[in-house]
Amino acid sequence: MNHSGVASDQKPAVEITKDRNGIEQIVLRNPRGASTRVSLHGGQVLSWRTDRGEELLFTSSKAIFKPPYAVRGGIPICFPQFGQRGSLEQQHGFARNRTWVIEENPPPLQSYDSTGKAYIDLLLKPSEDDLKIWPHSFEFRLRVSLTADGNISLISRIRNINCKPFSFSIAYHTYFSISDISEVRVEGLETLDYLDNLCQKERFTEQGDALTFESEVDKIYLGSRDIIAIFDHERKRTFLIQKEGLPDVGVWNPWEKKSKTMVDFGDEEYKQMLCVNGAAVEKPITLKPGEEWTGRLELSVVPSS
Ligand code: BG6
């Protein structure tokens, strides 16, 4: 063992590196060798790997990693707006375009905690320019953890440090890596009402059983239960999405035609990704001065037949 409580032949639980553009990234590892990589650009999780090194999140081969562009893949954080419902021009807000910092207090952990979990705490505060487009002072604290079982969790704490209330919407825009969009099935959203972005946000009710996909989908399911599953038969694995404080779920796949209009997305890549996003969007969250909101997402993967 070295001084940080890590066996000397083992990689550290928390490692800080830099990407090609000099942007800091934090790699979290658990004792079994699973890992996750978080960029300070957007506070965005860019990779989540099992202990066998299998990547579980999709990132486009055409993704742009230079700020101020948002990276097409991983888990972009959409804040203070998700979708075109707020006052901002950027439909998914600006948090995913900004550079976050590592919270100095407490300092980053160099070893696992007693449960074998590694984590990092990040912070975003608005810049002068941000305040011009969204005039509300906030502190957004994000804790990204990798558990001993290889699950990742993202806990957001947003505090109003203004002298007047503000409202926001938020989503963890999660790009799951899948074998084939035509073969996967999502359970946990059946019978719910949804707003269809492809039909001027008209409200419909989901019919039938699990969701399957055969064309573009861009929907916000309202008031879902706190666990959703994505079954991927070909890969013999199921993603479980557990959430707290995030009543809604965005489901998005651009399919063939829209893929061709996106510069940072390959023409055929829609087949290998599905976004299922824990969100709070239909009823924006309002914080009075000094109040704090917490939202939590935990992702796990289990073998399935
Ligand atoms: C989805 C939206 O959540 O995100 C879609 O509902 C949008 O309408 C997609 O196309 C991607 O958005 P962006 O801003 O990352 O290109």
Matching residue, tokens 């969007």: 281
Looking at residue 4, what is its pLDDT?
Answer: 43
The whole-angstrom separation of Cα 4 and Cα 27 is: 16
pLDDT averaged over 10-residue windows placed end to end, the chain, 305 residues: 48 91 95 96 98 97 94 98 84 96 70 84 97 97 96 98 96 98 97 96 93 98 97 97 98 98 98 98 97 98 91
Write down the pTM of the prediction. 0.95
Task: Please name the residue ranges forming H helices in the chain.
Answer: 128-133, 255-259
Domain ranges of the chain: 14-303
Q: Which residues contact 247 (CB under 8 A, 6 or more apart)?
A: 222, 223, 224, 280, 282, 283
Find residue 244's DSSP bridge partners. Answer: 296
User: Which atom from ligand 1 is nearest to the alpha carbon of 82?
Assistant: 3
The two three-digit tokens of residue 293, written as one number = 């909101």
Query: CATH topology for 14-303?
Result: Beta-galactosidase; Chain A, domain 5 (2.70.98)
User: Which atom from ligand 1 is nearest to the alpha carbon of 76?
Assistant: 15
Cβ(96) – ligand 1 distance below 6 Å? no
207 annotated as a binding-site residue = no
Question: b/e per residue, 284-294, with b = 16+ CB within 10 A?
Answer: bbebeeeeebe
Find residue 149's DSSP bridge partners. Answer: none
Cβ(252) – ligand 1 distance below 6 Å? yes
The whole-angstrom separation of Cα 123 and Cα 140 is: 6
Cβ(130) – ligand 1 distance below 6 Å? no
Looking at residue 190, what is its pLDDT?
Answer: 95
52 annotated as a binding-site residue = no
CA of 244 to the centre of ligand 1 (A): 23
- Cα dihedral angle (212, 216, 218, 221), rounded to 10 degrees? -20
The whole-angstrom separation of Cα 206 and Cα 280 is: 19
- Report how far apart, in Å, the C-alpha atoms of 40 and of each of 52, 67, 109, 251 are: 26, 10, 17, 25
Q: Which amino acid is at 284?
A: P
